[in-house]
Every structure is written in structure tokens, then in C-alpha cells.
Amino acid sequence: MDASTHTSTDEAALRYDGWRIVLVCFLLATFGWGLGFYGQSVYVAELQRLHGWPASLISSGTTFFYLAGAGLVVFVAEAIKAFGPRSCLVAGTIAMAAAAVAIGQVREPWQLYLADAVLAFGWAGTSLGMITNTLGLWFDKKRGMAISLALNGASFGGIVGVPLLIAGIGYFGFSGAMTAAAIAMVALMVPVILVFVGRPPAHIGAVALSAAGGPSPTQIRARALRDLGFLSVSIAFALVLFAQVGFIVHLISFLDQVIGRERAAVAMALLTAMAVVGRVSFSFVIDRLNQRLASALSFVSQSVALLVIINLRSDWALIAACAVFGFSVGNLITLPALIVQREFDPRSFGVLVSLVTAINQITYAFGPGVVGLLRDVSGSYTLPFYGCIVLELIAAVLIMLRGRANA
């Protein structure tokens, strides 16, 4: 069914075609984050177990993946404009599935880097930049709500993805589990995309980017990089996501040594479940709040949770701290796009979201590698996790610097 065949344009109406796109993006985020983000924690632990490779070697592959993905995601808005959302979503799905199969077949370190290169294409086509740009074609007034609802799939990917991957590895082996995940993704996502994703309504504000007389993507990026408000958002979230990604990728490896693999999986699932709770509860009030202040408070709450995780060894205290940390995880994915929407020209939304996503990803790409290196050098995760606390607190100050939006 082609979405362009429907005439309803009331974004608040349940029959509005855009809510089907939200469902598609929810499912896409489930697989994208399950295999591309939260799955990294499983890959690090499993490749260490299978091959005995050092954490720094494996997590440097994760860093390479994020860097390569950042180079691609900055052009997502242009790709959607050139090829259409349907083709881009299908391409991202196939690339992610191919990468999952390849990761399961890794036998040598160079093969991990090759698989991560393919994964970068899949991540660019299934993650934040693609989802926010796609939803921006269907939503204007309800864009923030649509993005928040769709990105719950990111947290759902962690809730179901990590436990299912661990269970699948126990039953099928690492290679078999990754292949099964890839088959499930293609079998579900490709038909759903082909059925529900058609032409977006032409009147939506995000499409104005391509209108005659509007600023070009190059002009938008140049203006944004000179704007204090944009830079403070980009740098603050880059630092926080550096800490957040570095911590999450190594979480199972850390907890495995303290509370065991099964409870580590429970802690990861609870962390991601709380991300859903945090994002959903936040969505009801975020339009009435100071989004920068809300971001700063989220950064501080993660710092407190990390402090508990470093210093306590009680099973329940660690699991509870992971829950507190997770409450902000989902919002930190959503908030940059919402701040951009509120503070900048609507014509700039797609390009700026892709740009801030790329800046953040380039920075947090080094998180897993740096955390792994500091862990290998110091012999424990105490030093790198304290470093994450410092970055979170610096970001809490930076996010409160707001310039005059001119992008």
C-alpha cells in the first residue's frame, strides 16, 4: 500500500499514514540498535571468549565501525532526497543483515574490521539519522512525539536483542545465532517497508529543504558550525555518548566478572527497559520543559549511577544502578533531535540532525576503544569508568550554553 494514495494529513489522527511509518521505524530501530549498538557488548564478550583476543583489539573494531558509520550518516538526508525513503530503508536493512552474518563468521581480526565496515552501512541506514530524517518527511507538528515513539524501538532492541542473542548463542552457537538474527530481520523488515513506506505528503516542512530558494545542505552545515547553540548541543552530547557507549559496550564484560553472565544479561535488559520507561514518561512533559536543563540533569544522573557501579559489589545494587543509568539512555538519543527542532529553522532539520549525529558518532566511536585500552593498561574498569563520570559532568555544564540559532 502506497502512503501517497491517502489524503489524510491530520498528524493527530490515528488514521494518518505517518503513524504507520512510526511503526516501521520502531521495528527498524529494534533491529538496528539490537544488532548495531547493544549487540556490540555481546560481540566483545563472545569474541574474547572464542578467540582470547584482548578487549582493546575487539573494541577498536567497534571504534572503526562507528567512525565509518559517522562518515556515512552525515549524508543520509541527501540519500533520502536522491533515492527516496523506501529504497534507503531496504538498503540499510540488507546491509545490517549481511553484517550480522559476517560478524558470526569472524575467525581473524582483519575479518572483524571487514564485517564492521559492512555494519557501518547498515547502521547508517537503520539508526538515528535515517529514522529522524524519514519521520521528518511525514511529521511536522507531531515530529517530536513521532521520533520519541519510534526510538523506543532502540531500547526494545536492547531489551529483547541482548537476551535473545545470548540465548541463541547458547543454543545455535555464535555463528548460527547471528545468521538467525539476520534472516529474521530481512524476513520481517523488507515486506513491512515495501508495504507501508510510500511517498510522504508534500506539504510537510522537512520536504521544504529541497524547495527552490532554500539553503543548501552545505550552507546549513557551515552556519551551524559557527553557531554556539548548535556547537554546545553537539559537543555536550558527543562527550556523554562517548561515555555512555564506552560503558554499555563493556558492561557485560565488566558485570560478568562481578555477578556472572546471567545476571549481567538481566542488568543489560533492565537498563534498556528503563530507557523505554524514561523516554515514554519524558515524552508527556518534554514540550513544557527546558530541554537543555533536562539534558544536564540526565547527564548528572548517569554520573551518580556510574559512581555506584564502580564502588559497590552487591548484585542488586549494581542492577539497580544500571536501571538508573538506563532511565536516561533513551532520552539522550532523542533529545538532540528535539532541541534541533525547537531551536533551528525547520528547513534545516534533516541536515542538522544528520550533522549532529555524525559529530556525536565520530566522538563516541572512540569510547569503546579508549575504555578497552584503559582497562587493559590499568587492569580494571575503575579508571575508564571514572573518566566517563568526568565527561558526563563537563557535558552537563556545556549543554547549558545556548547561542542565537541562525542555522
In a domain, 4, yes or no: no
User: Distance (Å, rounded) from C-alpha 307 to C-alpha 322?
Assistant: 11
Residue from 26, 22, 21, 11 nearest 199 by CA? 21
CATH number at residue 160: 1.20.1250.20
Confidence of residue 12 (pLDDT cuts 50, 70, 90): low
E strand segments, 98-226: none
User: Residue 209: its pLDDT value, please?
Assistant: 44
In a domain, 7, yes or no: no
In a domain, 406, yes or no: no
Among 173-187, 199-213, 369-383, the minimum mean pLDDT is found in 199-213
SS3 state at 9: coil
Residue from 361, 360, 387 nearest 373 by CA? 387
Residue from 388, 122, 130, 353 nearest 249 by CA? 388
In a domain, 349, yes or no: yes
In a domain, 319, yes or no: yes
- Mean pLDDT score of the chain: 85
Quick one: what percent of the chain has pLDDT higher than 70?
Answer: 91
Total structural domains within the chain: 1
Name the more confident of 249 and 185. Answer: 185
What number is the average pLDDT over the span 372-396? Answer: 92
Q: How many contiguous H segments (helices) and E segments (strands) does the chain have?
A: 18, 0
In a domain, 167, yes or no: yes
Whether residue 40 is predicted with pLDDT greater than 80 in this model: the reply is yes
User: Residue 211: its pLDDT value, please?
Assistant: 47
User: Residue 403: its pLDDT value, please?
Assistant: 61
Neighbours of 2 (CB within 10 A): 12
Buried b (16+ CB within 10 A) or exposed e, 336-361: bbbbbbebbbbbbbbbbbbbbbbbbb
Q: Find all residues with CB under 8 Å of 405, minimum gap 6, and list them.
A: 227, 229, 230, 343, 344, 345
In a domain, 3, yes or no: no
Q: What are phi and psi of 329, to 5 degrees?
A: -60, -50
The rounded Cα 376 to chain-centroid distance in angstroms is: 26
Top mean pLDDT of 66-75, 188-197, 376-385 is at: 188-197
Confirm if 249 and 48 have CB atoms less than 8 A apart: no
In a domain, 337, yes or no: yes
Whether residue 72 is predicted with pLDDT greater than 50 in this model: the reply is yes
Top mean pLDDT of 2-11, 276-285, 327-336 is at: 327-336
User: Residue 203: its pLDDT value, please?
Assistant: 55
User: Distance (Å, rounded) from C-alpha 119 to C-alpha 99?
Assistant: 5
Domain that holds residue 197: 12-398
